[in-house]
Amino acid sequence: MKINFLKQAEIDKEKYDQCIMSAPNGVIYAMSWYLDTAAPGWQLLATPDYSFVMPIPKNHKFGITYIIQPLMCQQLGIFSPERISEETYRHFIKKLPAVYCILQLNSGNLFGQKELRPNYVLDIRPDYKTVQSAYHTNTRTDLKKATKAGLTIDAQTDYAAIIELTKQQSPFYTGKMLDIATRLAEKAQENDSLLVRCVRDESTSELLSAVLFFRWKNRLYYLLPVSTTKGKKMSAMRFLLDRFITEFAGQDYWLDFEGSAAPSVAQFYQNFGAVPEWYPVFRKGNFRILRH
């Protein structure tokens, strides 16, 4: 198999994006507009006809080239509209242009790797009652309390207030990560891929919880969730997700929660009926050398 290494300026992004769009294992993180924001200067391994592609987020430190997973970019790896064999996988891995590499691949690149991570997804293609039937008892109870508390959903297009709330409330989305998230939201809005959903106190209009969802193909990606202390006490995020599921249930969508390996977060997703979709991590070299 012939595999070319292409620098940024050499990539035919139209052909590349078509491959990602046509691939059964395609993900939003691999689209060129997403990578241009999350991993500027990304490069590419690809067959001459772009039927198999592997985006490469290369970096440099102390004169050493290394590959590391970009922030806000859960999965990359090899993509193709054709079947990806283990032989093809190994051809691409051998071509990686770096001695040091930590790369999260995708669920279509599973070939007996030892390190796997869970991505929780919820099939919302059935009608709402069918989806709701898989809710955990605790989730049902919390939703009843939230409904009685007088919460209301606000579907809006302005994401600036959510970014500001995240700055104030989230210990996770800070600094560079929040900057990237803001630029991704801007790009997603330009592509008509952004869905903004908020929960407010009906009596005061106080913002309690919010999520930026990215819509791509048949997936709704759950990005940048944030809640105030009051919102957490009132189960506002559960209320938001339930109303969002109500809005899109019965359509050809999966709700992609983007993780997580953290037990409490994973349990939150599972309580809505989400199931793990595993993806592998590829490591090469000792990254401790780059920390000095």
- How does 259-272 read in b/e, with b if 16+ C-beta sit within 10 Å? bbeeeeebebbbbb
Q: Is the pLDDT of residue 50 over 70?
A: yes
- How does residue 172 score in pLDDT terms, banded at 50, 70 and 90? confident
pLDDT band at 289 (very low <50, low <70, confident <90, very high): low
Q: Which are the contacts of 76, defined by CB distance < 8 A and separation ≥ 6?
A: 29, 30, 54, 55, 57, 69, 103, 104, 105, 106
* Average pLDDT of span 269-282: 96
Quick check: bond before 260 cis, omega within 30?
yes
204: number of Cβ within 10 Å: 9
Query: Which of 121, 113, 166, 146 has the alpha carbon at shortest distance from 27?
Result: 121
What's the pLDDT score for residue 69? Answer: 95
Fold agreement (4-116+279-291, 125-252): yes
Q: Tens of pLDDT along 226-253?
A: 999 999 999 999 999 999 999 999 999 9
pLDDT at 65 over 90: no
For residue 55, the one-letter residue type is P
65 alpha carbon, distance to own chain's centre: 26
Q: What is the pTM of this model?
A: 0.93
Helices (H), ranges, the chain: 13-22, 32-38, 86-94, 128-132, 137-148, 160-169, 175-190, 229-233, 236-248, 263-270
CA distance linking residue 61 with residue 224, whole number of Å: 29
Per residue in 204-230, pLDDT tens?
989 999 999 999 999 999 999 999 999
**Which residue matches tokens 């595993």?**
278
Please state the separation of Cα 74 from the chain's center in Å.
5
Q: Which of 214, 210, 246, 248 is nearest to 227 (CA)?
A: 210
Average pLDDT score over residue span 95-116: 94
Whether pLDDT at 166 is above 60: yes
What local confidence, expressed as pLDDT, does residue 261 receive? Answer: 77
What is the pLDDT at residue 193?
95
CA dist., res. 163 & res. 165, Å (int): 5
Query: For the chain, what is the mean pLDDT?
Result: 93
Residue 155: band (very low, low, confident or very high) from pLDDT cuts 50, 70, 90: confident
Band the pLDDT of 60: cuts 50, 70, 90: confident
Tell me which residue of 127, 144, 135 sits closest to 246, measured CA to CA: 127
Q: What pLDDT is stored for residue 290 in this prediction?
A: 53
pLDDT at 273 over 70: yes
Percent of the chain with pLDDT over 70: 97
CATH number of the domain located at residue range(s) 4-116+279-291 in this protein: 3.40.630
Residue 189 has pLDDT above 60, yes or no: yes
Give residue limits of the domains in the chain: 4-116+279-291, 125-252
Q: Does 287 have pLDDT greater than 90?
A: no
Q: Which residues pair with 45 in a beta bridge?
A: 5, 54
CATH number of the domain located at residue range(s) 125-252 in this protein: 3.40.630.30
